[in-house]
Amino acid sequence: MARVIGSVGRVIGPVIEAVGVENAQMLELVEVGENRLIGEIVRLEEKRAVIQVYEDTTSLRPGAPIYGRGAPLSVELGPGMIGTIYDGIQRPLEVIKEKHGHYMQKGIQLPALSREKKWHFVPVAKVGEKIDEGGLLGTVQETKLINTHILVPPGVTGELVKLTEEGDHTVEDEIAVINTVDGQKSITMIQKWPVRKGRPFSRKMELKIPLITGQRVIDTLFPIAKGGSVCVPGGFGTGKTMVQQALAKWCDADLIVFIGCGERGNEITDVLKEFPELKDPRTGLSLMERTLIIANTSNMPVAAREASIYTGVSIAEFFRDMGYHVAVMADSTSRWAEALRELSGRMEEMPADEGFPAYLPMRLAEFYERAGMVSALGGEQGSVTIIGSVSPPGGDFSEPVTQHSKRFVRCFWALDRQLANARHYPSISWMDSYSEYTDEVASWWEAHHDPEWKQLRSKVMDLLQIEGRLQQVVKLVGPDVLPDRQRLILEACALIKNTFLQQNAFDMIDAYSTAEKQVKMLRVILSFYDLGLEAIKQGATIVRIRTMKIFTEIIRMKYAVSNDELDKIDAIQRRMERSFKELALIFRR
């Protein structure tokens, strides 16, 4: 029950100074005023406190009472989250719309999980056995794709003395009783967890398995491992949201948590409209069967924006503990950092670079370090992969959020404005991006698809680097002055860029490439370069090579060959080898 802990002394936008504060805790959740606005204590000194409020404080007056909840901001974890749309502090927006209309009223407090809906619980554990924290009590088939595990909460260990039989239950019904050293503990399907604290696990695992996204520029050149973290910076219009939506649809994560953190309302609206209509390419079911959305637009209270990414990653950790691989899309961390800056300014803290608080690096580190592949308390292996976009003002990658993010992530997908203007998507720059996961995932690629994958990737990167230098010469004197060997590099890199790295999200065949198709396409393009180089040594000209019929087939293969017709790429490889043999015979004569 909430209790009065003080009263409002001063109101500074979303920040409130409370006076006469007694029996309060740091980071305690509070309710402010008669409307019971939800807030959080962020500073305590003697009988004064500073509170950040997650709602609009218009009309709030000094002297209004402040009620303490005695617990920090927490999320409700259990069946019923999948397919739900929450705000930054886990209020169900669809339920609010049904009960209160299109506009949120102040102080609305609804449970994150439905208390009326019944779920079919299937017990797994047995009465009388010793059960540890994270142990599996039973399961609930929440969607056709997600089987939610009902786990023993962290910190609870003892003998299972009661377990309900298979049947339909609400999330508040008692399903188990555990006899602990502190007495009997009643267990329901709901767990509450403070959002700013990472959920415990047994140990972190090595990152060796790639997150296959179906985007060739990512999977081949700049891969990310399951449990990894990546920063996606780009100026306005470079396609950050498009990249994240493509990953949400196509990546092979079991579950997607999409956090719209401070983005424009129309972008979040597109997500809310499109995701329920999108079909999961692996199952044919709605993408919402494995998606959870946290919508916190730029016109919503700034303090809730700051809390939204913690809400999202806490939910992701809950499913990670069940053994699922979860991908968290945070769009964007720049808006989250701007919320920190605004709140810090209102609290009259000393600013650092560009007005951001001095603790910005620490907060970024706390967020990105919650990614990882872990062995959970119950023995399952799951992962949380964090993909955070950054919106640097003017596309300036030297600004603090981008620079600090680079310190804490091992993968960097830099979006290039020139590529975006040329309609080259994904507009990930092959000159400025990098991935430190390449060596770790190479063994997976070599074991499952091609033993020479790492060498193929290195050769592509080398060619692109050489082509970048050659383009500087071309801009000055034109391509005709280059020898045919160097012009062949330009042609091969044009194939790499336009045929391999560029993908059309609106084309049913090209929108997604399986790992096997990516490797086969890469081999064809590099074979073209090797065979062309040998032909030039024997006297062939670059003009003759470009006019070969097979050259056009290579350009079109990304559209012409679907993921289940890969033998056609092998046929292209054979025809190309035959064409170059015929070309060699002509020049030998």
Q: Measure the CA–CA gap between 444 and 208, rounded to whole angstroms.
A: 7
Which stretches of the chain score pLDDT less than 50? none
447 CB-near residues (< 8 Å, 6+ apart): none
Q: How far apart are CA 45 and CA 128, in angstroms?
A: 49
Rounded CA separation 56/38 (Å) = 10
Decide: 159 and 125 in contact? Cβ < 8 Å: no
> What pLDDT sits at residue 417?
93
Check: CB of residue 185 under 8 Å from CB of residue 359.
no
Token output for 104: 């949120």
Quickly list H helices, 74-190: 93-100
Element (H, E) at 516: helix 515-537
If you search the block for the tokens 């000159």, which residue do you land on?
Answer: 431
CATH placement of domain 116-189: 2.40.50.100
The residues, any chain, with a CB within 8 Å of residue 455's CB and separated by 6 or more, are none
Give the model's pLDDT for residue 284.
76
- Judge contact between 99 and 120, C-beta under 8 A: no
Contact (CB, 8 A) for 500 and 215: no
pLDDT in tens, 218-244: 999 999 999 999 999 998 889 888 898
Residue 120: its pLDDT value, please? 96
Q: Where do the domains of the chain lie? A: 3-71, 116-189, 203-438, 453-588
pLDDT at 479: 83
Distance CA 345, CA 53 (A): 15
Strand 183-187: give its sheet, edge to edge.
Answer: 130-131, 158-163, 176-180, 183-187
* CATH number 3.40.50.300 is the correct assignment for the domain at 203-438: yes
CA distance 496 to 290: 34
Tell me how far apart the alpha carbons of residues 77 and 522 are, in angstroms, rounded to a whole number.
44
Distance CA 132, CA 378 (A): 8
Q: Which two structure tokens, joined as six digits, stand for 501?
A: 């790295």
CATH architecture group of domain 453-588: Orthogonal Bundle (1.10)
Rounded to whole angstroms, how far apart are CA atoms 89 and 109?
A: 10
Residues written for the chain: 589
pTM of the predicted model, to two decimals?
0.94
Predicted confidence at residue 296, as pLDDT, reads 85
Nearest to 429 by CA among 511, 329, 502: 502
Report the CATH architecture of 3-71: Beta Barrel (2.40)
Helix axes 400-408, 360-368, angle to 10 degrees: 40
